[in-house]
């Protein structure tokens, strides 16, 4: 039986055009079935552009859309017919096995939490993102679901992040660090000091390597880095902000004279590869971990390529039973 | 009367060679007198390399050195003859007017705090750093002095950051933002929510523009950004980490083939300018704000150029009476 993915066809800056384009590419490449949720006429208009005869696509009506600036909690209660709420419902009813959404992160999280519930043993879901490093990738969580955290939540993030790193990125025995402002165990605020003690006691099920500083995050020393959602969200956006600034400066500098332009033209392939390496579209969006279900939150600015990758991550999360493994490891951590 | 700067000649990865080279360049270019503090024979060896006849340089003996990995509080109590403690003492005694140090940030902060004391109305000193943006620069504080903060401290940081931006970077009526994970006033953790309320009530003496997200930090929307020292330190190091990673990737990509190498060679001037723009050495180190005195903490990896700029910032901080202005604005904020 192949997997069906519910795609919020209305969410994101380039919806429904790029969302549906990416979904169709994913359906073809990864052999998944689709459930496109949103305004039927708009979805049908987009589908008409493609030959979809060989694909299994159902359309589910949802006339409302939650905008990026709406308060998530009240928006999902008020807009029961919004594409994200209906997409989550379709997973709750078993019509699809996972949700992919590029709209409001808060709304996707709130809808998933209320519509599907939490995994046993997990206090709060977390958003896991994949960042590039000089070597491979690093999974960072929480990237913004919880502005305030308790030490035991960071322990749960460490479990979930380890499973993600292993299942999705194929890392054996992933190295887990705490994002901190110094290397020694006593460094940082009370949260990370206490989380350090918890993780140091959990070496039997977590490969804890200690604190990781902001600079080291990009050196590839660790496979998973845990932090509260405030620090994680700032880190994620600072990473994006610095990369955008450098590429903008690079572009400005490389178009300043004909001579320099010529050099840039010759080196174009290298510059394109660099851009690709540091591009969030490669990593397939953020995975909401800790809920009874799979929800991949793609970047608001996702184009087809990012949506396609987000669907790949959703499919792999189901096939590799990421939630089953999180529950198993949680049970193990309780027994030990 | 010209200003004398006490330079910790032993602190930093390239001390005393680069430290003394930079100090001599600064003495000549900015017409400052020097007090070089550290191991006399090493300092004299370095000085012998230059013609310093026209410069006013005194050497002050300090045989101990505080290493980067020592706990700052106990290190400054134990090593009374360390270069940083003696440098601070020399300012306390009035021999010099400011300290420039590239060694342990924690030791420089602890020594300054205990040796010179706090400005009236300032609960805790903060480290202010200057970051590049797509437009001008932004001053961020606290960059690591206080892992945990109270809302009123962020208010004090806003006052100190505004004065810094105005005095050192020449910004009129600097726009102040809170580093946060969303734009609206209710976003973030309790600290930033309450700091938002405080700053919103302080519009008569602070040009508060609201929350600034990690991505916006580098767009030049604000001149000053305040945050606790944990978030600030992570932000500073993530900024450095991402920039290092991209330049490393760029270098790797641009040396992959002869053809690409040729392009990079032609575009070299542009790439060099880019590197310079995003280089911390340009901004002259971090200023420790809130103490009764001036202490500029240069990056541990500072070469002569960075030390020279740090001395410039120290000189300007004294000439423009940054501490007098902080005290005035604090008084104003109390009266209003």
Please write the tens of the pLDDT for every residue from A98-155: 999 998 888 999 999 999 999 998 999 999 999 988 888 999 999 999 999 999 999 9
What CATH number has the domain bearing residue A210?
3.40.718.10
Residue A260 has pLDDT above 90, yes or no: no
Same domain, B101 and B155: no
The whole domain housing A90 covers: 1-122+290-320
Which of B277, B276, B296 has the alpha carbon at shortest distance from B286? B296
* Portion of chain A with pLDDT greater than 90, in percent: 72
- One domain for residues B251 and B311: no
Q: Is the pLDDT of residue A316 over 70?
A: yes
Q: Tokens 């504080």: give the residue.
A: B141
pLDDT value of position B2: 87
Cβ separation B181–A269 shorter than 8 A:
no
Q: What local confidence, expressed as pLDDT, does residue B79 receive? A: 95
Same domain, B131 and B51: no
The pLDDT assigned to A252 comes to 81
Distance from CA of B326 to the nearest CA of A (A): 28
Of B218, B229, B234, the CB nearest to A179: B234
Residue A285 confidence (pLDDT):
81
B17 and B143 inside one domain: no
Q: How far is B95 from chain A (nearest CA, A)?
A: 34
Nearest in space to B164 (alpha carbons), one of B193, B148, B186, B140: B140
Do A135 and A254 belong to one domain?
yes
In chain A, residues with a C-beta closer than 8 Å to the C-beta of B188 are 147, 230
Question: Which pLDDT belongs to residue A272?
Answer: 74
Give pLDDT, residue B69: 82
- Residue appearing with tokens 């070496």: A203
Give the up-direction half-sphere exposure of residue B226: CA atoms within 13 A in the CB hemisphere: 35
What confidence score (pLDDT) does residue A277 get?
67
The count of structural domains within chain A is 2
Q: How far is B228 from chain A (nearest CA, A)?
A: 10
- B117 in the Ramachandran plot: left (φ > 0), alpha (ψ -120 to 50) or beta? left
Instruction: Report yes or no on B335 lying in a domain.
Output: no
pLDDT at B171: 96
Residues A71, A132 within the same domain: no
Same domain, A210 and A189: yes
Do residue B133 and residue A246 have CB atoms under 8 angstroms apart? Answer: no
Give which of B6, B56, B11 is closest to B36, Cα–Cα.
B6
The residue that leads in pLDDT, A162 or A280, is A162
Instruction: Examine residue B333 and state whether it is found in any structural domain, yes or no.
Output: no
Residues of A in contact with B246 (CB under 8 A): 242-243, 246, 274, 278
pLDDT the model gives residue B244 = 86
CA–CA distances in Å: residue A183 to residues A186, A192, A213 = 9, 12, 7
Q: Alpha-carbon distance B85 to B95, whole Å?
A: 14
**Average pLDDT of each block of 10 consecutive residues along chain B (336 residues)?**
92 94 96 97 96 95 90 92 96 96 91 94 93 91 94 96 94 97 90 96 93 94 97 94 85 77 73 68 81 93 92 95 91 72
What are the residue ranges of helices labelled H in chain A?
17-30, 40-47, 72-78, 83-92, 105-116, 151-169, 190-200, 229-253, 258-266, 268-277, 304-319, 322-335
ipTM value of the model?
0.89
Assess whether A114 and A146 both reside in one domain. Answer: no
Residues of B with CB below 8 A from A154's CB?
A: none
Q: Given this model, what pLDDT does residue A279 score?
A: 63
Query: Does residue A215 belong to any structural domain of this protein?
Result: yes
The pLDDT, as a whole number, for residue A243 is 87
Higher pLDDT, A277 or B297: B297
**Residue B82 domain flag:** yes
Asked if residue B325 belongs to a domain, the reply is no
CB-CB: which of B192, B214, B260 is closest to A237? B214
The answer to whether A230 contacts B189, with C-beta atoms less than 8 Å apart, is yes
Q: In what order do the strands lie in the sheet with B294-297?
A: B57-61, B33-38, B4-8, B98-101, B294-297, B286-289, B126-132, B137-141, B224-226, B175-180, B207-213
- CB contact (8 A) between residue B179 and residue A234: yes
CB nearest to B266's CB, from A181, A187, A266: A266
**Residue A249 forms part of a structural domain:** yes
Judging contacts by C-beta atoms under 8 Å, the chain A residues touching residue B213 are: 234, 237
Q: Are residues A170 and A311 located together in one domain of the fold? A: no
- Could A235 and B214 be called an inter-chain contact, meaning their C-beta atoms sit closer than 8 Å? yes
Residue B336 belongs to some domain of the structure: no
Q: Does the distance separating the beta carbons of B262 and A266 come in below 8 Å?
A: yes
Residues of A in contact with B148 (CB under 8 A): 189-190
What pLDDT does residue B71 have?
87
In this prediction, residue A331 carries a pLDDT of 81
How high is the pLDDT of residue A281? Answer: 62
Residue A159 CA to residue A167 CA, distance in Å, equals 12
Phi-psi region of B173 (alpha: psi -120 to 50; beta: other; left: phi over 0): left
Q: Closest CB to B263: pick one of A215, A239, A265.
A: A265
Instruction: Tell me if B241 and A144 make a contact (CB, 8 A cut-off).
Output: no
Q: Who among B239, B249, B273 is closest to A278 (CB)? A: B249
Chain B partners of A244 at a C-beta cutoff of 8 Å? 215, 218
**Residue A57 and residue A47 in contact, taking contact as beta carbons nearer than 8 Å:** yes
DSSP SS3 for A17: helix
Question: Chain B closest CA to A76's CA: distance in Å?
Answer: 18
| CA pair distance B102, B22, nearest whole angstrom | 12
The pLDDT, as a whole number, for residue B39 is 97
Same domain membership, residue A248 and residue A191: yes
Q: What is the model's pLDDT at position B268? A: 74
Q: What DSSP element (H or E) covers B331? A: helix B322-335
Q: Do B133 and B280 fall into the same domain?
A: yes
Measure A39 CA to nearest chain B CA, in Å. 29
Asked if the structure places residue A332 within a domain, the reply is: no
pLDDT of residue A265: 73
pLDDT of residue B334: 72
The pairing of beta strand B57-61 with beta strand A294-297: unpaired
The pLDDT score that the predictor gives to residue A103 is: 85
- Judgement on whether residues B42 and B114 belong to the same structural domain of the protein: yes
CB atoms A260 and B269 under 8 Å: yes
């Amino acid at each position: 039986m192949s997997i069906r993915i519910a795609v919020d066809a209305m969410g994101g800056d380039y919806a429904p055009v790029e969302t549906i384009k990416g979904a169709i590419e994913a359906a073809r490449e990864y052999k998944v079935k689709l459930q496109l949720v949103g305004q039927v006429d708009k979805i049908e208009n987009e589908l008409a552009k493609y030959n979809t005869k060989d694909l299994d696509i159902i359309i589910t009506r949802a006339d409302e859309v939650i905008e990026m600036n709406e308060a998530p909690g009240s928006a999902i209660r008020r807009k029961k017919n919004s594409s994200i709420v209906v997409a989550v419902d379709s997973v709750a009813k078993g019509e699809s096995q996972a949700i992919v959404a590029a709209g409001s992160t808060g709304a996707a999280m709130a809808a998933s939490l209320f519509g599907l519930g939490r995994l046993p043993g997990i206090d709060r879901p977390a958003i896991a993102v994949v960042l590039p490093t000089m070597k491979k990738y690093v999974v960072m969580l929480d990237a913004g679901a919880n502005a305030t955290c308790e030490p035991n939540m960071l322990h749960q993030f460490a479990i979930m992040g380890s499973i993600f790193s292993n299942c999705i990125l194929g890392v054996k025995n992933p190295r887990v660090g705490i994002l901190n402002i110094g290397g020694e165990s006593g460094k940082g605020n009370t949260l990370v000091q206490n989380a350090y003690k918890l993780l140091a006691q959990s070496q039997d099920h977590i490969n804890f390597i200690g604190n990781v500083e902001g600079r080291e995050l990009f050196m590839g020393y660790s496979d998973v880095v845990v932090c509260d959602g405030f620090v994680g969200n700032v880190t994620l956006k600072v990473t994006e902000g610095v990369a955008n600034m450098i590429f903008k400066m690079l572009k400005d500098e490389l178009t300043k004279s004909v001579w320099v332009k010529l050099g840039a033209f010759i080196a174009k392939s290298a510059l394109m590869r660099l851009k690709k390496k540091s591009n969030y579209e490669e990593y397939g969006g953020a995975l909401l971990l800790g809920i009874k279900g799979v929800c991949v939150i793609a970047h608001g600015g996702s184009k087809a390529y990012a949506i396609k990758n987000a669907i790949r991550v959703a499919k792999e999360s189901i096939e590799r039973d990421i939630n089953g493994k999180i529950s198993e490891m949680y049970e193990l951590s309780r027994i030990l």
